[in-house]
Amino acid sequence: MSRPFDRFAPAWQRAAHLSRTPAWVGATLYLLLASTAIFILRSNWAYDDPFITYRYARNLASGLGFVYNPGEQTLSTTTPLFTLLLAAVSLLGGDIPRAANLIGAVSIAAGGLLLFDLAKVLKTPRVGWLALILYPSVPLLHTTIGSETPLYIALCLACFAAYLRFAYTGLALLAALVVLTRPDGILVVGLLALHFVFTRRHAGRHAGRPASRSAGFPLKPALLFVSILLAWVIFAWPYFGSPLPATLAAKQHQGMMVISQRFLQGLVQQVKGELSRPAGLVQAGLALTGVVFVFCCARQWALFLAWPLVYLLAYSALGVTTYFWYYAPLAPGYVALVGLGVEGLYVGGDSVLKRAPGNLSKWSPAFKAGLVIVILAVTALQLNTAIAASRVPDPRREVYRDLGRWLNAHTPPDATVSALEIGIIGYYADRRMIDFAGLIRPDVAQYLAHHTTYMDAAEYVIQRYQPGFLVLNSEPYPDMLDSYLRSTCHRVERFLGARYGYGAAIDVFDCRAP
């Protein structure tokens, strides 16, 4: 039976042979050096959303259950696998935020190696060499450190690597881990499954066999994949009420709001930001060249490049609001296209010069050297952007951390606190939290709509749950909320944002009945 990418098997056999030689030493050194550099660069980086997962992990390790608020079994983290990893770190006495950053740094470095491996199997080695230096320096990837996103991307890349190796048992395990890391990992699984079915049917017809022939179907790997996910479903359905995270509906409802940007609108902003940099313009030109090269000469990359396309279409159809980490899974495909553009220029330019009349052929070495210089310059500029960005931390980290610690020290252990962003605050406050964005309480998410704002959601939370403490940015409030604050609450603390580089003061109100 003809298997997917059979014609690339000799290349993989050579790669497998190299894995038994000192080549693995270079891969190990690369992984160590790249991940160490990224971790040092971003060791103190943090943003709000991952701290929701951190609190789940800490509560799980502490014996309080797979919960955000003890006693409330709602799945408000999108990443069960990452939660379990961080819970294990907590059990061993590790610092969860720093461990999450380390996992992210190692995952980004591993992503560069996996792209290198894919390029080698697909007989475009220069794509792989460029990925080794370009992928780990992508600024957008660095900003997702601390979340499950780098691990998710690395596992997706590993799925493609296992598929091209025909290692279906390994693929089944990796595929299950991808889906447990983030539910949208099912896109990769579905894409590879469709490709397998299509190529098997095509091979059967070519050999004169019936198109429905089932011989060769990897039944045991498929059962392994289903069994792992079924184990999660059997636990999650009765425990949470659904194996799917409640945050998906929350972010869809956030996307409906007039004040929000949809996924495609955010992508346009990302592209504009990329094109505003000289290095970004060069990369965009190379990526477009790569698209042409794929259609004419490198169609073996079509399967891998279908992943970011399917991902983009799926997220656009979901109608979720804009979060910067949603765009990070597009990075591997973009880096591959940039590399394919270099490959196309290298092969095509060299061929043209060698066939040109006169003395133009003598410029072939100079052309190749110039191409290398351009790539090194682009990478250096991108790395400089990443380094510069690392020096500008998210100002919310410090003010939210101090605010959370203040709540932990000055409020009763059974207090209920409501705020818009409850990741960092909730992690350090260790109090029952209800957010205005609907991530913790699904009914709050249902309240968000085209005509509402987060202040409207705050009014709903106050009416429904009557929290003892409110955390609000100091700003003009809607009439109802302002009336409630004046009649029922009193301000007990103010955090001046200017001290942290944050653009607003944050007030803490005590709204408990006297």
CB 438 within 8 A of CB 448: yes
pLDDT of residue 356: 54
CB 417 within 8 A of CB 489: no
3-state DSSP assignment of residue 332:
helix
pLDDT of residue 257: 77
Residue 487 or residue 21, greater confidence: 487
CB 364 within 8 A of CB 350: yes
CB 500 within 8 A of CB 398: yes
The span from the CA of 154 to the CA of 115, in Å, is 9
pLDDT of residue 357: 57
The separation between CA 314 and the C-alpha centre of its own chain, rounded to angstroms, equals 15
What is the rounded average pLDDT of the residues 105-121? 95
- pLDDT tens figures, 455-482: 888 889 999 999 999 999 887 788 888 8
pLDDT of residue 236: 95
Weakest mean pLDDT among 86-100, 137-151, 154-168, 386-400: 386-400
Q: Is the pLDDT of residue 7 over 60?
A: no
What is the rounded average pLDDT of the residues 23-31? 87
pLDDT of residue 373: 86
3-state secondary structure labels for all residues of 141-161? HHHCECECHHHHHHHHHHHHH
Weakest mean pLDDT among 59-73, 164-178, 341-355: 341-355
Q: Are strands 416-419 and 490-495 parallel, antiparallel or unpaired?
A: unpaired
The span from the CA of 5 to the CA of 13, in Å, is 13
- pLDDT tens figures, 423-443: 999 999 999 999 998 899 888
- pLDDT tens figures, 123-163: 998 899 999 999 999 999 999 999 999 999 999 999 999 99
- pLDDT tens figures, 238-283: 999 999 888 877 787 777 777 778 888 888 998 888 888 888 899 9
pLDDT of residue 355: 59
Amino acid type, 33:
L
Q: Is the pLDDT of residue 5 over 80?
A: no
- pLDDT tens figures, 193-250: 999 988 876 655 544 444 444 446 788 999 999 999 999 999 999 999 999 888 877 7
pLDDT of residue 362: 58
pLDDT of residue 6: 47
> What token pair was written down for 422?
């409850």
* Segment (H or E) for 450: none
DSSP 45: -
pLDDT of residue 22: 62
pLDDT of residue 415: 95
3-state secondary structure labels for all residues of 186-250? HHHHHHHHHHHHHHHHHHHHHCCCCCCCCCCCCHHHHHHHHHHHHHHHHHHHHHHCCCCCCHHHH
What is the rounded average pLDDT of the residues 22-29? 82
pLDDT of residue 479: 82
In terms of Cβ atoms closer than 10 Å to its own Cβ (0-12, 13-18, 19+), residue 272 is exposed
The span from the CA of 48 to the CA of 395, in Å, is 11
pLDDT of residue 1: 41
What is the rounded average pLDDT of the residues 339-349? 83
